[in-house]
Structure 1
Amino acid sequence: MQHLTNGISLGSLYALIAIGYTMVYGILRLINFAHGEIFMMSLYFAFYGVAMFAMPWYIAFIVTILITAVLGMLVERAAYKSLRDAPRITIMVSAIGASFFIQNLAIVLFGGRPKTVPTVEVLSGVIKLGSVSLQRLTLVIPVVTILLLFLLMFLVNQTKTGMAMRAVSKDYETARLMGIDVNKIITITFGIGSALAAIGGIMWGAKFPKIDPFVGTMPGIKCFIAAVLGGIGNIPGAVIGGFILGIGEIMLIAFLPSLTGYRDAFAFILLIIILLFKPTGIMGEKIAEKV
């Protein structure tokens, strides 16, 4: 039970970040490789808000989410907007370039030396349930993830903006003819995905307080794998993929401690298996490529 709760907590973090990947892919059919670096920047925003500007933690977290959302929209404008009709390979190269640019910008701005996120007392307390000891944060993370999933599904399925997102995901040329501002919808999508990455980053920093300019690389790759596992382009699928990956990782090292060094390899093995036997993922659908 102790390991299961830890796995659910880690899976919730993966799910939050994976949603950003799957939202962008669902609309633009491209992988935003800079998403892991946006997650990393949110950690630094939170760190400096609390440590340097002495903001109360809840104010620092709100500011972090807003700034990260703006950063995501700026990345979309700078790296993707002008390539809207370019070949997929061109957009992919631009995404990789944006990722390296943000990573190196962080090294220049914040330095390469690791920093420690200040402890938030509200989240760091320990709760005992029988023989199971849980950090309060371990219970908070899944609850926040599920609440955000429901809010996001409401946005996508019940609002005009969500309707426009679904229209753009089907065919943005036709959506444009129907009067939808495609550029605005894509920018909003990047903003929402980046805000979710910021929330995930804040909770990641509370759980794993060490941060550096490369902290987003491996979580970013794993969350991409979670999105593929669940069916990239499908929001509930990304959440399911995140939970499967997080619980699988923790259970692997719990029951087979000799394989602890192969913890990261587990995600890549899972990716290979899903691509071999169900390339569309658990909840994904086959989509015809546009020529």
Structure 2
Amino acid sequence: MRTFGIIVVLLLIWRIVYVAGETNYTFQYWISQLTNGLVLGGVYALIALGYTLVYGILFMINFAHGEVMMMGGFAGYFVLQGMTALGWSNGTTAQSILSIVIMMLVGMLVSVLTAVLLERLAYRPLRTAPRLVPLISAIGASFFLQYSALRIFGATPHPYKKPAVISGIWKIGESGIAISYTGIFIFITSIVLMLALRLIVNRTKMGRAMRSVAEDKTIATLMGVNVDQVIVFTFVLGAALAGAGGVMFGLHNTIMRFNSGFIPGLKAFTAAVLGGIGNVTGAMFGALLLGLLEAFGPSALGMPTEYKDVIAFSVLVLVLIFRPTGLIGEVLSEKKA
């Protein structure tokens, strides 16, 4: 199966090189697609990590996670509106940076509160139920949050106006290459947050507790680990990343809708499966790879850009067929499967 994956990647690279040589696409175009793919991958990674963290602890798929991200995105939008009204968003550099920081923190906080409520009300009572029951509950929670957002925020798209400090374009000399400051901000911030997550999981007491619960809840309990506390912390950690991802999604796409979390949530789930569900490194790798596939895929295959969603979900189907454990994932034990 690894051989199949390598063959697919090599075929895609060959196709990109072929298209680049046979069409009028410029070098600047391919660099633009590369940066766009990395930015998308960074956003998907922040959302995908929530899926993979929860699965690693509870062995369930939180299909409401995309809506948790959407709630954070809306929170960031309203903070941005307030900062714009105060003149901070487009004020001095310090004011503009502070606007972004506050927007990110509030978005993360709202997502965390949403996820904690979901865990307490929709998932904890079903923890000992058959595996299908919490899955159905998660799908129901997803639609509940979507249509609650529709009721509260309306169906009209809400425009995300970028703060002045990240609204410009960085032109690299006379090369003709231009990269948006928003894209740079999103990619760097997502990398920093991913590194912070790895630090928490690998170097902190709670991170060690998370790993022990993921390995065996019973033994972890006997060793004195508070499993309920670890589960809540896992939801908090995943939701905080999703909230940051929601704000970045709004800045990248410049709009936020009541259903803005649905498709990105599914794509982030695809990324988690692609890398190996339950594997933190795999989720990061899968998300970046999916972002690049979305950016380069339509051009490489001679398809309109509108087909990028088809490419993303085709990847999910292929991975589930040929390597269901993901590119980096391990074979699950019977208990986890």
TM over 0.5: yes
Q: Percent identity?
A: 43
* 2:192 aligned partner: 147
Match of 1:227 among 267, 272, 275: 272
Contact 2:77 2:247 in 1 (8 A): no
Q: Is structure 2 residue 199 aligned with structure 1 residue 169?
A: no
Please report how far the alpha carbon of residue 178 of structure 1 lies from its aligned counterpart in structure 2 after TM superposition. Answer: 1.7
Q: Which residue identity does 2:139 align to in structure 1?
A: I
Q: Which residue identity does 2:133 align to in structure 1?
A: T
* 1:211 aligned partner: 256
Q: Is structure 2 residue 282 aligned with structure 1 residue 248?
A: no
Q: Is structure 2 residue 163 aligned with structure 1 residue 120?
A: yes
* 2:334 aligned partner: 289
| Higher deviation after alignment, 162-171 or 116-125 | 116-125
| Higher deviation after alignment, 203-212 or 253-262 | 253-262
* 2:46 aligned partner: 16
* 3-state SS of paired residue (2:63): coil
Q: Is structure 2 residue 183 aligned with structure 1 residue 183?
A: no
Contact 2:44 2:268 in 1 (8 A): yes
Please report how far the alpha carbon of residue 173 of structure 1 lies from its aligned counterpart in structure 2 after TM superposition. Answer: 2.3
Q: Which residue identity does 2:195 align to in structure 1?
A: F
Contact 1:164 1:180 in 2 (8 A): yes
Please report how far the alpha carbon of residue 265 of structure 1 lies from its aligned counterpart in structure 2 after TM superposition. Answer: 0.6
Please report how far the alpha carbon of residue 256 of structure 1 lies from its aligned counterpart in structure 2 after TM superposition. Answer: 4.3
Please report how far the alpha carbon of residue 177 of structure 1 lies from its aligned counterpart in structure 2 after TM superposition. Answer: 2.1
Work out the number of aligned pairs and report it.
291
Distance 2:196 2:104 in 1: 19
* Higher CA-based Rg: 2
Match of 2:69 among 39, 42, 65: 39
Distance 1:174 1:240, change over 3 A: same
* 1:276 aligned partner: 321
Q: Which residue identity does 1:95 align to in structure 2?
A: A
* 3-state SS of paired residue (2:303): helix
Contact 1:30 1:88 in 2 (8 A): yes
Please report how far the alpha carbon of residue 261 of structure 1 lies from its aligned counterpart in structure 2 after TM superposition. Answer: 2.9
* 3-state SS of paired residue (2:179): strand
Please report how far the alpha carbon of residue 257 of structure 1 lies from its aligned counterpart in structure 2 after TM superposition. Answer: 5.0
TM-score calculated relative to the size of structure 2:
0.83
* 2:121 aligned partner: 78
| Higher deviation after alignment, 249-258 or 22-31 | 249-258
Q: Which residue identity does 2:225 align to in structure 1?
A: I
* 1:95 aligned partner: 138
* 3-state SS of paired residue (1:258): coil
* 3-state SS of paired residue (1:128): strand
Please report how far the alpha carbon of residue 174 of structure 1 lies from its aligned counterpart in structure 2 after TM superposition. Answer: 2.2
Q: Deviations over 1:24-51 (max 9, x none)?
A: 1111100000000011111111111221
Q: Deviations over 1:62-117 (max 9, x none)?
A: 12212221221111111111111111001101111111111111111111221111
Distance 1:187 1:127 in 2: 41
Match of 1:3 among 25, 29, 33: 33
Contact 1:123 1:206 in 2 (8 A): no
Q: Which residue identity does 2:251 align to in structure 1?
A: A
| Higher deviation after alignment, 132-141 or 212-221 | 132-141
* 3-state SS of paired residue (1:101): helix
| Higher deviation after alignment, 57-66 or 13-22 | 57-66
Please report how far the alpha carbon of residue 154 of structure 1 lies from its aligned counterpart in structure 2 after TM superposition. Answer: 1.3
What 5-or-longer segments of structure 2 have no aligned partner? 1-30, 87-98
Distance 2:306 2:157 in 1: 22
Contact 1:38 1:194 in 2 (8 A): yes
